[in-house]
Amino acid sequence: MNFEIFELERNQSLFENKVDFNLSESGVHPLKLSEILTIEEQKEILDLELYYGCTNGTPGLRERVSEMYCDKISNDNILITSGSAEANFLSILTQLNYGDEIIYMVPNYLQIAHLSRSLGIKVNYLPLRQELNWQWNIDDLKKMVTSKTKMIVICNPNNPTGSIMENEVFDTVVSIAKDKNLWILSDEVYRGSELNGVECRSFAGATNRSIVNGGLSKAYSLPGLRIGWTIGPENYIQKAWSLHDYTVISIAFLSDWISCRILEKNRRKKILRRTKEHLNRNLKIIEKWSMDIPELSFTTPQAAAISFAKLNDPILSEDFVFSLRDKKSVLLTAGKWHGLEGYIRIGYGSPEDYVKSGLRRIKDFLSEK
């Protein structure tokens, strides 16, 4: 079996640690353990025996995750995974077969698209429309559903646009899925990074065939813990758990232990307040900077640490990103890698001075073209 190259991840992996300014990152600058654990907890962690832990995640951690969603979600509806990437992987491999068809939101983080095509699943792309503030056209969605459609795949809040699905679109997705007996797969790893501080609606429990994947890498600023989760009906969780036994077996014991503590409600809310404040400060930097950049057209994001900008010059997004990287040592991601040519993604979740310095180099690059 041949798997497609995951272009976005490969280009980030090759260069993110070599450039002076990595603005390809889509999360908020990571927290330190000393910032999220008490002194007593820091001492306690040094004396822990490093067991394998619970292969599906400890009951305590699954309970913490369930508290973040509706009353329909219990421990039995949750499997803890090694990041949301594993959650996405398990969702596709357990619910789709060769020859199935899915409706797929673009632009997007294309992990699921690459994986699906590699497995012989037909991916039917439905683009968000910038003129609709990066929403789906409901009529387009209705027309795309056929007798072969098995799943609607969503990223909400969206990567790379930072948009949040409007209620009318959300309700239409749920209605179609119920009527046609389709799976909904919603990547919600950016939930909690809303700029107004109000968590958006989740598809968790929206239908009896809804799968929601999330994690601590983005809104929670803890990518190094590699903690994710997949939420769905119990029969799905059992199938995903069976495949999980063949992949990582269990998540890291220390990551489970730490996550269980920092996802206590008050501490979780404190982390998300920090996220909101940081993103709103840095968004002002991007907005002020963009006023003097006619080569790019921006749409203000509603969530996440990313801005998706239209290239107003006739240049391919990949060529733009490679040239900027080689000439100014700044790394961005190309719209092509998100399924939409003619755009670039700029991450602004790093410390303020770092973001400002990277933006100055982009401005210099554009002025020298």
Rounded Cα distance, 158 and 133, in Å: 12
Burial of 131 (0-12, 13-18, 19+ CB in 10 A): exposed
Token couple for 102: 């899915």
Pairing of strands 343-347, 306-311: antiparallel
Rounded Cα distance, 221 and 69, in Å: 20
Question: Percentage of residues in the chain with pLDDT exceeding 70?
Answer: 100
Token couple for 48: 């822990």
Closest CA to 24 of 353, 358, 345, 360: 345
Token couple for 70: 């509706």
Q: pLDDT per residue over 110-156, tens digit each?
A: 999 999 999 999 999 999 999 999 999 999 999 999 999 999 999 99
Which CATH number describes the domain made up of 39-263?
Answer: 3.40.640.10
Mean pLDDT throughout 297-310? 96
Local confidence band at 325 (pLDDT 50, 70, 90 cut-offs): very high
Q: What's the pLDDT at 123? A: 98
Mean pLDDT throughout 315-337? 98
Local confidence band at 269 (pLDDT 50, 70, 90 cut-offs): very high
Q: What's the pLDDT at 278? A: 97
Q: Please say whether the beta carbons of 362 and 22 come within 8 A.
A: no
For residue 54, pLDDT over 90 is answered with yes
Q: What's the pLDDT at 1? A: 75
Q: What's the pLDDT at 200? A: 97
Q: Calculate the CA 216 to chain-centre distance.
A: 10
Q: What's the pLDDT at 239? A: 98
- What are the residue ranges spanned by the domains of the chain? 7-32+267-368, 39-263
Q: What's the pLDDT at 186? A: 98
Closest CA to 203 of 235, 174, 169, 241: 174
DSSP 335: G
Q: Please say whether the beta carbons of 46 and 180 come within 8 A.
A: no
Q: Please say whether the beta carbons of 170 and 201 come within 8 A.
A: yes
Task: Report whether CATH 3.50.40.10 matches the domain 7-32+267-368.
Answer: no
Question: Percentage of residues in the chain with pLDDT exceeding 90?
Answer: 97
Give, for 117, the enclosing helix (H) or strand (E).
helix 111-118
Q: CA-based Rg of the chain, rounded to a whole angstrom?
A: 20
Q: What's the pLDDT at 369? A: 72
Q: pLDDT per residue over 201-222, tens digit each?
A: 999 999 999 999 999 999 999 9
Cis peptide before 107 (omega within 30 of 0): yes
Q: What average pLDDT does the structure give for the chain?
A: 97
